[in-house]
Amino acid sequence: MMTEYQALRIDVAFVEPLYEINIGYVARVMKNFNMGKLYIISPRCEVGAIALRYSAHAQDLLLEARIINGLDHLLSKYDLVIGTTGKIGAGPLRRYVTPDEFARKLASYKDGKVLILLGREDIGLKNEELKLCDLIISIPANPLYSVMNVSHAAAIIFYEIYKTLSMRERTVNRMPKREEIEVFLRYVREILRKRGKKEDKVERALLTLRRIIGSCMLSSSDIKLLIDIVKGI
C-alpha cells in the first residue's frame, strides 16, 4: 500500500482466470490504486504477452506475480481474507458489505495482512471458497444484470480502499492475527460440540461468527478478550 500505510498490506489473488486480457487489466488497476502483490491461482489460460500488453505500466507487478495451485496454503498467511461475489443471499455464506463499507472498516486498522480474492470470470468463487473468507464484498448494481467484469469490479473495490485509506486519521487498532481468530473459533466449536449441537449447526454457527468478526473489524485485543471469555465456559 501507500508509504504511510506500509504496515497494512493488501494483496490480491485472482482465482482460476479464464482470459489473459483480464489478468493484465487486474494488474493495471492494482497499480492504479497501489495494491500489493498479485497471486494467480491455477490459471486456465496463458500468462504471457497478452497479459503484459494489457497491464500497460503495471508490467513490473505482473512479472513479479506468483502463479500457484490452490488457496489453502496461501490463506493461512493472511490475517483477513476477503471474498468477492456478484451473487448475494440472506444466509451467512453470502452476507456482504459494499466496497465503501469495507474500506471504512479497514481504515480502523493500523497494520495487518489482507488478501482479496477475485473469482473466476464464468462462475465466480465457489461456496467452499467463500466459506474460507472472513468477509464478503459485493457491489450493488442493476438487478437485471448485476455481475460485472472482474477487472471492473476490482477497480471499484481498490478505488474505495485507496480513497478511504488516503483520508484516514491516525488509528491505533491492531488487526487480529489469523491464529487468534482460529483459536477463538476452535474454543467455540468445542463448546458447541460438548452441548450436543449437530455438526451442520456447529459449522453454520462458526461461519456466522467468522462473518461477524470480519464485519465488525474487531481488534487483536478484542479477540484476546473473547478467547479469555470462552475459555472459562
Is residue 143 domain-shared with residue 199, that is, in the same domain? Answer: no
Whether 105 and 169 have beta carbons less than 8 Å apart is answered as no
CATH classification of the domain holding 132: 3.40.1280.10
Same domain, 67 and 124: yes
- pTM across the whole model: 0.86
Q: How far apart are CA 107 and CA 113, in angstroms?
A: 13
* CA atoms 58, 59, 65, 67: torsion sign: positive
Q: Are residues 183 and 80 in the same domain?
A: no
Of 206 and 7, the one with more pLDDT = 206
- Considering the domain architecture, whether residues 202 and 149 belong to the same structural domain is answered as no
Claim to verify: residue 32 and residue 134 sit in the same structural domain: yes
Summarize pLDDT for 20-45 with one digit per residue, the tens: 999 999 999 999 999 999 999 999 99
Given a cut of 50, whether residue 4 has pLDDT beyond it is: no
In this structure, are 163 and 212 located in the same domain?
no
Q: Based on the fold, state whether residues 197 and 163 are members of the same structural domain.
A: no
- Judged against a pLDDT cut of 60, whether residue 74 lies above it is answered with yes
Rounded to an integer, what distance in angstroms lies between the CA atom of residue 12 and that of residue 14? Answer: 7
Other Cβ atoms less than 10 A from the Cβ of 52: the count is 17
**Three-state secondary structure call for residue 93:** helix
Average pLDDT, the chain: 91
Other beta carbons less than 10 A from residue 49's beta carbon = 10
| Structural domains counted in the chain | 2
Residue 120 and residue 98 share a domain: yes
Which domain does 101 fall in, by range?
Answer: 3-167
- Is there a contact between 115 and 135 (Cβ–Cβ < 8 Å)? no
Q: For residue 5, is pLDDT > 90?
A: no
pLDDT, tens digit (0-9, with 9 covering 90-100), for 144-175: 898 899 999 999 999 999 999 988 766 668 88
Q: Is residue 91 domain-shared with residue 132, that is, in the same domain?
A: yes
Q: Which tens digits make up the pLDDT trace of 115-150?
A: 999 999 999 999 999 999 999 999 999 988 988 999
- Residues 56-71 have a mean pLDDT of 96
The verdict on 163 and 182 lying in the same domain is no
Residue 53 lies in a domain: yes
Whether residue 190 sits in one domain with residue 138: no
Same domain, yes or no, for 185 and 73? no
What stretches of 119-209 adopt beta strand conformation (E)? Answer: 135-137
Higher pLDDT, 137 or 4: 137
